[in-house]
Amino acid sequence: MTRRATCESCKALDIRQLQQGNLLVPGFLFGWTWSRDDEPSGSICIVTEHDAIVLMYRYGTSTWKKIAQRVPITWTDCPLGGRRPWFKCDVLSGGKRCGRRVAKLYAAGELFACRHCYGLAYDSQRQNPQTRATLQLQKILMKLGGSGHLADPFPEKPPRMHWRTYRRLCDRALAAETNVDDMFLQKAERFIRKPVHHRRIRRAYWPIDPSARRMKAIFHRWRRG
């Protein structure tokens, strides 16, 4: 069975980074690059239009194909004021236009599209629940300025962080830590209560001598209580 590609393994274009860099002003032309292990891994040119951007790049292996993909941008109002941009995935998927409003587009094929169109998974979906919960807790601790090590003291409120945000992250960290502890205890209980297979014990501890039958009978009486 072929494993699904992951979002983390593909080049991604995040509209939030473009907005933070004030790069969505119509009429801009700039380059965007990706790197992996501090080495360049790809680049594209971006032209901004009114409520859209045009991605210009080359695609191919043996022969290169020039691509100019226009990606529409939609806006939503934020509860506390301002507006938030979104990409509108305009790729054909399943015989129809996708139309999803997303923050990231992925270069998993010829065109940039959302993860749903390419069927991409997250790395966390391949992890067991305990590992996923532990990484979530470490991520929250690092967001609070900590090292991420579970044995370290809980981080204090970082400078310039609102107390409401700090308390919310503390509640999330407490819930994640409780989740990690519960799963560890469940795993330990399953290990402790795991029934002993009598055949393995017989091979390991029952010698081939006249008293073996008597030892076997005692063992079965003990198992029956």
pLDDT tier at 61, thresholds 50, 70, 90: confident
> Does the structure show a pLDDT above 70 at 46?
yes
Look over the chain and give the mean of its residue pLDDT values, rounded to a whole number.
81
pLDDT tier at 41, thresholds 50, 70, 90: confident
CA contacts within 13 A on the Cβ side of 116: 14
Please give the average per-residue pLDDT across 112-125, as a whole number: 83
> Does the structure show a pLDDT above 90 at 101?
yes
pLDDT tier at 193, thresholds 50, 70, 90: low
Most confident of 73-77, 149-153, 168-172, 209-213: 73-77
Q: Where do the structural domains in the chain lie, given as residue ranges? A: 7-123, 129-192, 195-225
CB 118, CB 108: distance < 8 Å: yes
**Cβ contacts of 49 within 8 Å, gap of 6 or more:** 26, 70
What pLDDT, in 10s, does the model give residues 202-215?
444 444 444 545 55
> Does the structure show a pLDDT above 80 at 58?
yes
pLDDT value for 195: 55
> Does the structure show a pLDDT above 80 at 133?
no
CB 130, CB 118: distance < 8 Å: no
Q: Would the pTM count as exceeding 0.85? A: no
pLDDT value for 125: 61
Q: Among the listed ranges 21-25, 72-76, 105-109, 124-128, which one has the minimum average pLDDT value?
A: 124-128
Write the DSSP assignment of 201-218 as a string of letters: HHHHH--SSTTHHHHHHH
